[in-house]
Amino acid sequence: MINPFDDNYFMQQALAEAQAAFEEGEVPVGAVIACDNRIIARAHNQTERLNDVTAHAEMLAITAAANTLGAKYLTGCSLYVTVEPCVMCAGAIGWAQVSTIVYGARDEKRGYSLYAPKAFHPKATVRQGVREEECTRLMKDFFARKRNK
Report the relative pairing of strands 100-105 and 77-83 from DSSP bridges. Answer: parallel
Nearby residues of 104 by Cβ (< 8 Å), 6 or more positions away: 11, 14, 15, 81, 82, 83, 128, 129, 130, 131, 132, 134, 135, 136
Rounded CA gap, 110 and 69, in Å? 30
> What one-character DSSP code corresponds to residue 116?
-
DSSP 120: S
H-only helix segments in 24-86: 47-50, 57-69
Report the C-alpha gap between 128 and 130 in whole angstroms: 6
**Which residue in 17, 26, 58, 84 is the catalytic one?**
58
**Is 58 annotated as catalytic?**
yes
Active site residues: 58
